[in-house]
Amino acid sequence: MSATKPAPGLSLLREPLREAGGEQMLAGLRTALSWLEANQQEINDLNVFPVPDGDTGSNMFLTLRSAVEEAQHAPTPSSVESVMAAAAHGSLMGARGNSGVILSQILRGFAQGVAGRQRIDAPGIAHALSEASTVAYRAVMKPTEGTILTVAREAARAAVAAVGETEDMRVVLERVVRESHTAVEHTIDQLQVLRDADVVDAGGYGLAVIFEGFSRAVSQADAPGPPPVQPRRAGEPPLRLPFGEGTGRGPAPVRRGAAAVAAREEGWGYCTEFLINGPGLDVDGIRTALAAIGESALVVGDPDLVRVHIHTGDPAALIALASQKGRLTKLKVEDMSAQHHDVLERADEDEARAAAPKELGVVTVASGDGFRDILKSLGADDVVPGGQTMNPSTEDLLNAVRATNAKAVILLPNNANVILTAEQVDQLAGECDVRVVPTRNVPQGVSALLAYDTTAGVDANCERMLSAIAAVRAVEVTRAVRDSTADGHDIKEGDVIAIVDDKITQVGDDYPGVLESVLAAESNAPELVTVYRGDSVTEADANTLVAALRDKHPRIEFEVHEGGQEHYPYVLSLE
Amino acid sequence: MIHIVTDSTSDITAAEAQTLGITLVPLVVRFGDDQYRDGVDLDADAFYNLLQNNSVHPTTSQPTPEQFVEVYRALLRDPDDAVVSMHISSKLSGTLASAHVAAKEFDSGRIHLVDTETVSAGLMLLVRASLQDVAAGKDAAAVAEMARKRSAKVTILVLLDTLTYLQRGGRIGRAQALVGSLLSVKPMLTMKAGEVAPMARVRNQRQGVDRIIAELKARLPLRGVAIFHARVPELIGELRDRVCATTGDAEVLLGRVGPVVGAYTGPGGIGVASLGVD
């Protein structure tokens, strides 16, 4: 230990933190992830529409988790550049929903801002945050104030202002956290939809939470951080227990009182392997002890060396127990869901290589068996599960695109909150030319597929699909999940509402009444109405409802199909 | 003298053939054991009645080489007689193969075979254009060569009620891609390189007509348009008005889809063929 560096704990005054390395970046991201997870539900609840909607908190959490997973495998863990570049790539692969995609762009901008840096200082943080804000704004076609973008920009501004006064990264990051929360509070004044719903912007709040977690971990550089998210490599330091004691963390001062709690790792499942070095090992005793903690236990060896291969949800406990028996070597812990994914991907790739690539494929997104079957029957190569409340990740879409084994793929997101994710796929898809035809709902996706011509090229098909989706109007009917004011309607929980092309146009007491008002409000009567019933509607109920509509509108052709979608008992297309 | 020969899949009626001064070689359509010469023993109306009231699916067969030999022999009486024999795409029917066998019975250079790579209204437009070449004094080889070149300028747009007949008849080709939709859709077909190719799926006839008009617009200027239908006369008037409004000076002809072609399209189909200017 050098003489200029005081031993930890001897200094009562807080030393300024002048710089940080890759390890602190990783610790920051991990803590940010824990912070985000603890606040996930609260962020989800900041839903501006009275309908089940894309879960911003879950989307941001899954996006950041993907970033952390990859950051843990950064080629040079001590390098800020290396860790942040890996995080940026990981977040892009895992990006879900619009907030997730913007978060991935923030991380990408940050990574660009720290390019070439092994370590980072206060001006470096300010520069990286400024880059993050710039890149995020560029990613959105029409940037809106009062969103996550505003929070990113205000955070950068706070950092730039702070470095004029101090070299202490702690101070800079504290300002970032404070100003980002202030920006979050102001979002309600910037967006009418937020004012109507009386909430702050969910994505902006999520970003402030991330800054808060990040700031805490970086500032407390000498305190143990949260557990690794997905430790994989042999020879990593022993796993730390989640939020070990003595970290000195108080309750999280985030809005609405939620406090960070230990990151749960339920259901992840780790494949854990190591050697226990003897002498004097009791192989049978070890097997019995370890098997209690995991499954598929393989414990073999002799008193000098025991090989262990166990699947467990709690590798830390397993390793702690095993380390009491002898010295551990060749430690390897792998996330099995990730492995499973890798295996599937490899299988897909092998298959893809075996067959000659086709010219064009189509990948679309929907929830509901009926919708999936219809979209497949119209020629979609794959229907990625997802939609309104479960947004697929960039990687989900990328895998489906790769599995088509096509030189060009058209992506039909079928949801406004999936379009931005879909637009990230092309840059990751290598040689494959990925185009997005921005379908905002399944009826538009159906129209686009009807226009699909397998013998024409990708450009001609995109053009056709674009004009096809302009010719269809989509109606989504559901019950309001809470009281609110939206699109000029006073809505009570339980009201039936009809959303026509993303706007609430009709509010009423029952489905027949609301559907009747929708048809009555059309200035040009449609010729063909296709009714897709959701998973909560029986065939008989749907037929009764449509029979009544037929009686009133003898000139309109009606067709009823099973969509099987959640949350929306009826989805209609008007042509 | 140059004689134009075609086959009954041109959907030119016997009366029209006489007026035009051309010879039609009939294909054969069968319902079980009953056999009819296309357009000779069976006209369009009688055919659709049979189709609707018969559980047996009709089959068709190409003319025999003997039929062609007889036709060619009758036309090639004088030393300066020549035949330009223009037929249904060789990828849809063996008609041209029969004609080819027959032509070997005659001196080379007297019979000029043309694979038009089209059918029905498309074939009819090519035949009428060739008649104008003959009238303009071109020799038989030139007439045939111009017809071959012109066949690339023919487009056929077909709006069907169902693909069932095409599928049963084994002529569906790449339009197989349109089969299997769980939604009720009307398939639209075209011909590419002499084969049936899928064009689009539409939800109803109105959308199909809109699409046809849009396709015609994209092909202007046109020399001629022919609108053929398989028992949907009610649509034709309006369709003709819209086509005329779109194509300006082009000649617009109306007709019926006859028995052999109708065996594959089924009732309820509309076909619009267009021929671009030379």
What would the mean pLDDT of B96-113 be, rounded to a whole number? 93
**Does A374 contact B182 at a Cβ distance shorter than 8 Å?**
yes
Q: Residue A442 corresponds to which tokens in the numbers above?
A: 């399944």
Query: Which domains, and CATH codes, for chain B?
Result: 2-151 (3.40.50.10170), 153-276 (3.30.1180.10)
8 Å CB contact of B183 and A451: no
Of B185, B197, B206, the CB nearest to A450: B185
Give kind and range of the element (H or E) at residue B87. Answer: strand B82-87
- Distance CA(A318)–CA(A334), nearest Å, equals 14
Chain A with chain B: Cβ pairs closer than 8 A: 49
Contacts of A355 (CB under 8 A, 6+ apart): A405
The beta-carbon neighbor of B177 closest among A450, A454, A561 is A454
Q: How confident is the model at residue A565 (pLDDT cuts 50, 70, 90)?
A: very high
Cα–chain center distance at B85: 14
Half-sphere exposure of A447 (CA within 13 A, CB side): 30
The minimal CB distance from A373 to the residues B182, B197, B207 is found for B182
Of residues A197 and B276, the one with the higher pLDDT is B276
- Would the CB atoms of A455 and B201 count as touching at under 8 Å? no
Q: Check A377 against B181: CB less than 8 A apart.
A: yes
Q: Is B200 on the interface with A (CB under 8 A)?
A: yes
Least Cα separation, residue B215 to chain A (angstroms)? 12
- Give the minimum alpha-carbon distance from A433 to chain B in angstroms, rounded to a whole number: 22
The per-residue pLDDT for range A420-447, each reduced to its tens digit, is 999 999 999 989 999 999 999 999 999 9
pLDDT digits (tens, 9 = 90+) for A233-280: 333 232 222 222 223 333 222 222 222 222 222 333 676 777 787 778
- In the structure encoding, which two tokens stand for residue A229, read together? 């998210």
Q: Choose the weakest-confidence range: A340-344, A487-491, B160-164, B215-219.
A: A340-344
Residue ranges covered by each domain of chain A = 19-225, 270-337, 356-470, 473-574
Res. A221 pLDDT band, cuts 50 70 90: low
With a cut of 80, say whether residue B141 has pLDDT above it. yes
User: Is pLDDT larger for residue A282 or for residue A220?
Assistant: A282
Nearest to B202 among A373, A378, A450 (CB): A450
pLDDT at A102: 92
Percent of chain A past pLDDT 90, that is, above it, reads 53
Q: What is the mean pLDDT of residues A197-213?
A: 92
Which of B177, B197, B204 lies closest to A528 in CB terms? B204
Distance CA B174, CA A176 (A): 61
pLDDT at A365: 96
Instruction: Write the pLDDT tens digit of every residue in B218-232.
Output: 999 999 999 999 887
Q: Write the residue in B184, B199, B200 that is nearest to A559 by C-beta.
A: B184
CATH topology of domain A356-470: Rossmann fold (3.40.50)
Higher pLDDT among residues A562 and A456, named by residue: A562
**What is the percentage of chain B residues whose pLDDT exceeds 70?**
99
Residue A317 has which token pair? 């406990």
Asked if the C-beta of B173 comes within 8 angstroms of chain A's C-beta atoms, the answer is no
Q: Does B202 touch chain A (CB under 8 A)?
A: yes
**Mean pLDDT across A462-470:** 93
Closest CA in chain A for residue B184: A559
The mean pLDDT of chain A is: 82
pLDDT at residue A533 is higher than 90? yes
- Taking the C-alpha atoms of residue B221 and residue B217, their distance in angstroms, rounded to an integer, is 8
Q: What confidence score (pLDDT) does residue A226 get?
A: 54
Which of A378, A454, A464 has its CB closest to that of B181? Answer: A378
What's CA A161's distance to the chain center, in Å? 31
For residue A299, name the pLDDT band (cuts at 50, 70, 90).
Answer: low
Closest CB to B204: pick one of A379, A451, A557.
Answer: A557
Q: Which amino acid is at A109?
A: G
Instruction: Please name the member of B174, B183, B197 whose beta carbon is closest to the beta carbon of A446.
Output: B183
- DSSP of B99-132: HHHHHTTS-TTSEEEEE-S--THHHHHHHHHHHH
How confident is the model at residue A247, as a pLDDT? 30
Å from B175 to nearest chain A CA?
A: 10
Structure tokens given for A30: 């991990």
Structure-model confidence comparison of residues B22 and A390, the more confident one: B22
- Burial of residue A113 (CB within 10 Å: 0-12, 13-18, 19+) is buried
Segment among A186-190, A291-295, A524-528 with least mean pLDDT: A291-295
Q: Where are the alpha helices (DSSP H) in A248-393?
A: 283-291, 315-323, 336-354, 369-377
CB contact under 8 A, B183 and A559: yes
pLDDT at residue A14 greater than cutoff 60: yes
pLDDT category, A231, cuts 50, 70, 90?
very low
Residue scoring higher pLDDT (A372 or A247): A372
CATH of span A19-225: 1.25.40.340
- pLDDT at residue number A330: 67
B200 to chain A: which residues are within 8 Å by CB?
A: 450-451, 453, 464
Bridging pattern class, strands A496-500 and B28-31: unpaired
Cα of B44 to nearest chain A Cα, Å = 30
Query: How far is B76 from A202, CA to CA, in rounded Å?
Result: 87
pLDDT computed for residue A250 by the predictor: 30
- Other beta carbons within 10 Å of B80: 9
Inter-chain residue contact B181 with A453, CB threshold 8 Å: no
- Put simply, the answer to whether B203 touches A379 (Cβ < 8 Å) is no
Can you name the CATH fold of A270-337? Alpha-Beta Plaits (3.30.70)
Quote the DSSP letter at residue A303: T
* Cβ of residue B5 closer than 8 Å to a chain A Cβ: no
Coil, strand, or helix at residue A332? strand
pLDDT per position as a tens digit, A43-92: 888 877 777 666 889 889 999 999 999 999 999 999 999 999 999 999 98
Q: Which of B163, B179, B183, B196 to mutate to test the interface with A (most CBs of A within 10 A)?
A: B183
Are A147 and A201 in contact by the 8 Å Cβ rule? The answer is: yes
What topology is assigned to A473-574 in CATH?
Hypothetical Protein Tm841; Chain: A;domain 3 (3.30.1180)
CA distances from A358 to A229, A309, A345, A382, A402 (A): 39, 42, 19, 14, 12
Closest residue in A to B200 (Cα–Cα): A451
CA distances from A376 to A48, A105, A365, A369, A466 (A): 33, 32, 11, 10, 19
Candidate from A378, A454, A530 with C-beta closest to B198? A454
Are B183 and A557 an interchain contact pair (Cβ–Cβ within 8 Å)? no
Using the predicted structure, report yes or no on whether residue B53 has a pLDDT greater than 70.
Answer: yes
In this structure, the strands spanning B111-115 and B82-87 are: parallel
Contacts of A561 in chain B (CB under 8 A): 182-183
In this complex, is the C-beta atom of B217 within 8 Å of any C-beta atom belonging to chain A?
no
Q: Between residues A350 and A466, which one has the greater pLDDT? A: A466
pLDDT the model gives residue A245? 28
Given CB atoms, is B104 within the 8 Å cutoff of chain A? Answer: no
Instruction: Work out the mean pLDDT of chain B and round it to a whole number.
Output: 91
Summarised one tens digit per residue, pLDDT across range A330-355 is 676 766 555 444 444 544 555 545 56
State residue A411's pLDDT score.
98
> For residue A454, which residues of chain B lie inside 8 Å, CB to CB?
174, 177, 198
B74 touching A, CB under 8 A? no
* Nearest-by-CA chain A residue for B187: A450
B218 touches chain A (CB under 8 A): no
Query: Could you tell me which residues of chain A have a Cβ less than 8 Å from any Cβ in chain B?
Result: 373-374, 377-379, 446, 450-451, 453-455, 464, 471, 527-528, 530, 557, 559, 561, 575
Per-residue pLDDT band at A303 (split at 50, 70, 90): confident
Torsion sign, CA atoms B115, B117, B120, B122: negative
Tens digit of each residue's pLDDT (9 = 90 or more) over B111-131: 999 999 999 999 999 999 999
Q: What pLDDT was estimated at residue A262?
A: 24
ipTM of model: 0.71
Residue in B with minimal Cα distance to A449? B201
